[in-house]
Homo-oligomer: A and B are copies of this chain.
Amino acid sequence: MKNEEFRKYGHEFIDWVADYLENLGSRRVVPDVKPGAVRSALPASPPLKPEPMEALFNDFKDIILPGITHWQHPGWYAYFPANSSPASLLGEILTAALGAQCMSWQTSPAATELEDLVMDWLRQMLGLPSGMSGVIQDTASTATLCALLSARERATDFESNESGLRRPLTVYISSETHSSIEKGVKIAGYGRASLRRIESDAAYAMIPEKLEAAILEDKARGFQPACVVATLGTTSSTAIDPLRPIGEIAARHGAWLHVDAAYAGTAAVCPENRAMLDGAEFMDSFVFNPHKWMLTNFDCSAYFVKDAGALIRTFEIHPEYLKTKADPYVKNYRDWGIQLGRRFRALKLWFVIRSHGVEGLQAFVREHLRLARMVKGYVEADKRFELMAPVPFGLVCFRLNDGRGEDALNDLNKRFLERINASGKLFMTHTALRGKYTLRMVIGARTTTEAHVRAAWEIIRSVAGLVLKL
């Protein structure tokens, strides 16, 4: 494709994107599409000859788009948000155009230095301890794996990298911790049997006394506690594990403390939400995702460590073909994670922070928290509903409860959620809280306003009436 053709379609695509964002609310959130429908509408083999961009763009609009789940929709209340924003989109265009591969300082000095800078901006914005160093990872899954590997190496004096994991290490999470930690425990060679699930309290937060009891029991049996994972804002219900007592216990027993704030970390841009960070000085590592609630296009996960040396020593490798003259004087982020190759992700984050300012991001978070409290009020005011967990952030957990048995309630609420989502006007997902099927409504999409939330609640109320009558 010639540059002039790129220019022509580039402009066309920008207009399409602006229109898409403008009118997104009129689309179904989740498409009404059967498995296999998209694939079977496309040729089974690649074309031999070049095809014009016009044909591609049409197929995108006619075949792909009707099969897309619209994560940027104002009716997005599912999972957690994965917000993009106009500023981030503009940054992504430049990142894609430069096509720089940012494994080493030399392979793009400005990318490394901007990453270094914006990660320190984020540290300041969240009130994380000074001295913590940051690196951008793709996802919290990867950042958590980095933490589990650093913990493994520190616990074994960096011998596992050399000889494999020979000592019986243990890792502690709560019953509510995200599945990526179990996945990481398997990948890093601890084995799932090394994982201890600590009981959580009525608010779904880890009980520190239970943690210490488990550690003491393990130590008595010859296990070595390598890592404790505390979550600020669990996936099921945004529960907040108490950081200070957990940190004190981890420190007392020499375990690495990793803090998973993938979703809720963004809330700490507002000083009034920083109580959860009391005890932050105990953290060995901390992750939150600007690609969730901080308007930065997926993927962009912010990982902070107290001891960058331990992280680097876990991953570094120095083949001749990667050595550069600048190595002694610079950060080479390839040694700060799993992947060698790295996108220039700092650019979109820099665009987002500067374009909104810290106060803009604070206002964004505060409005979502206000709307979530409003929905909590709706739930509490309607006797057909039951609030299932505290609402410290943007997530409201609730279900219908008319007093029938638990199994029947689970069936009822499953049907309830399916009916709501079938409307196409909004999209929520579910979880199980102590075995109870629970609807999750997360207020967190960039474009969601009070009017959207009110309209969504009207649909929820009316579907509730329907399914309770069936």
Residues of A within 8 A of B (CB): 1-7, 9-11, 13-15, 17-18, 20-22, 30-31, 33, 35-39, 42, 44-51, 53, 55-56, 60, 63-72, 79, 82-90, 92-94, 96-101, 105-111, 113-114, 116-117, 120-121, 124-125, 138-142, 145, 149, 152, 160-165, 178-180, 182-183, 186-194, 235-236, 291, 297-299, 315, 317-322, 325-326, 329-330, 338-341, 343, 347, 350-351, 353-360, 418, 429-432, 440
Contacts and interface: CB of A to CB of B under 8 A. Distances in A.
Given A92-B92, A139-B339, A321-B429, A298 B14 contact: no
Contact of A357 (B48, B140, B354): B48
A189 B192 contact: no
A329 B36 CA distance: 9
B121 A46 contact: yes
Given A1-B355, A3-B86, A48-B358, A93 B94 contact: no
Contact of A124 (B37, B38, B46, B358): B46
B114 A38 contact: yes
B99 A297 contact: yes
Contact of A44 (B50, B120, B194, B431): B120
A141 B18 contact: no
B341 A39 contact: no
Given A164-B189, A299-B341, A97 B3 contact: no
Contacts of A98: 68, 70-72
Nearest to A66: B110
Given A64-B347, A164-B191, 5 more contacts: A44-B117, A44-B120, A46-B125, A79-B101, A83-B99
Contacts of A359: 48-50
A189 B162 contact: no
Nearest to A194: B164
Nearest to A360: B50
A291 B317 CA distance: 23
Contacts of A321: 79, 235-236, 429-432, 440
Contacts of A347: 60, 64
A202 to B, nearest CB: 19
Contacts of A186: 160-161
Contacts of A125: 46
B67 A319 contact: no
A334 B255 CA distance: 29
15 contacts: A1-B85, A6-B21, A10-B14, A14-B93, A17-B94, A20-B97, A36-B113, A38-B114, A47-B354, A96-B96, A140-B340, A161-B186, A187-B338, A235-B321, A338-B338
Secondary structure of the A side of the interface? helix
A10 B3 contact: no
A386 to B, nearest CB: 18
A50 B110 contact: no
Contacts of A145: 187, 338
Contact of A30 (B15, B106, B192, B429): B106
Contacts of A14: 7, 10-11, 13-14, 93
Contact of A298 (B37, B99, B194): B99
B109 A69 contact: yes
A35 B165 contact: no
A42 to B, nearest CB: 6
A52 B358 CA distance: 14
**Most chain B beta-carbon neighbours within 10 Å: one of A2, A33, A66, A68:** A68
Contacts of A30: 106
Contacts of A142: 338-339
B90 A13 contact: yes
A360 B45 CA distance: 15
A354 B105 CA distance: 35
A398 to B, nearest CB: 15
A71 B329 CA distance: 22
A36 B117 CA distance: 10
Contacts of A297: 96, 99
A30 B108 CA distance: 8
Contacts of A20: 97
Contacts of A194: 164
B339 A141 contact: yes
A182 B317 contact: yes
> Which 9 A/B pairs are nearest by Cβ-Cβ distance?
A189-B189, A67-B110, A164-B191, A10-B14, A6-B86, A84-B99, A39-B113, A92-B96, A38-B113
